[in-house]
């Protein structure tokens, strides 16, 4: 199962400059998602982080992973933001950054479901660049109905 940016926009409420998933290349409902973000020098955060040595902020690497988790959750339960639902990032544990993410990198995102109970999801996540781990984390998301 592959999702292009148009379908991703149906499953994530985020928009520029905060939509951080460009394509989904694999998805097994209730199990795993593999996606990526193409990191461009045109990203607005590179103007200040850091002007002479641009690095993608670690919190945005975590956010990209969380967005991939949200897509997997939405697809698994067959809901959409348009139906009034959102996935909130509610926690991250055991976060480790192993290498910087820089302009020109393709940030590969993988999330595996650890468990789900009453709309609270725990994922084992890994972000990598060219096969080299950039970040590992356990991410917790909560599905909520919003007005």
Catalytic residue among 14, 49, 52, 53: 49
Identify whether 49 is a catalytic site residue.
yes
Q: State the first-to-last Cα distance of the chain, in angstroms, to the nearest integer.
A: 31
Q: For residue 56, which of 43, 70, 66, 65 has the smallest C-alpha distance?
A: 43
The helix (run of H) or strand (run of E) holding residue 36 is strand 32-38
Distances, alpha carbon 47 to alpha carbons 40, 90, 140, in Å:
12, 28, 30
DSSP letter for 25, please: E
> What would the two tokens of residue 4 be?
């292009």
Q: Give the residue numbers marked as catalytic.
A: 49
């Amino acid at each position: 199962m592959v999702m292009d940016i148009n379908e991703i926009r149906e499953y994530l409420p985020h928009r520029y400059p905060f939509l951080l998933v460009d394509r989904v290349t694999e998805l097994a409902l209730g199990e795993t998602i593999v996606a990526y973000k193409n990191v461009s020098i045109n990203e607005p955060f590179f103007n200040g982080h850091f002007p002479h040595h641009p690095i993608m902020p670690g919190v945005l690497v975590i956010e990209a992973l969380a967005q991939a988790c949200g897509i997997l959750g939405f697809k698994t339960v067959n809901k959409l933001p348009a139906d009034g639902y959102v996935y909130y990032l509610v926690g991250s544990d055991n976060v480790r950054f192993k290498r910087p993410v820089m302009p020109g990198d393709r940030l590969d995102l993988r999330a595996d479901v650890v468990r789900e109970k009453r709309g609270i999801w725990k994922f084992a996540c890994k972000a990598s660049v060219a096969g080299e781990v950039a970040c590992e984390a356990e991410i917790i998301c909560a599905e909520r109905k919003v007005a």
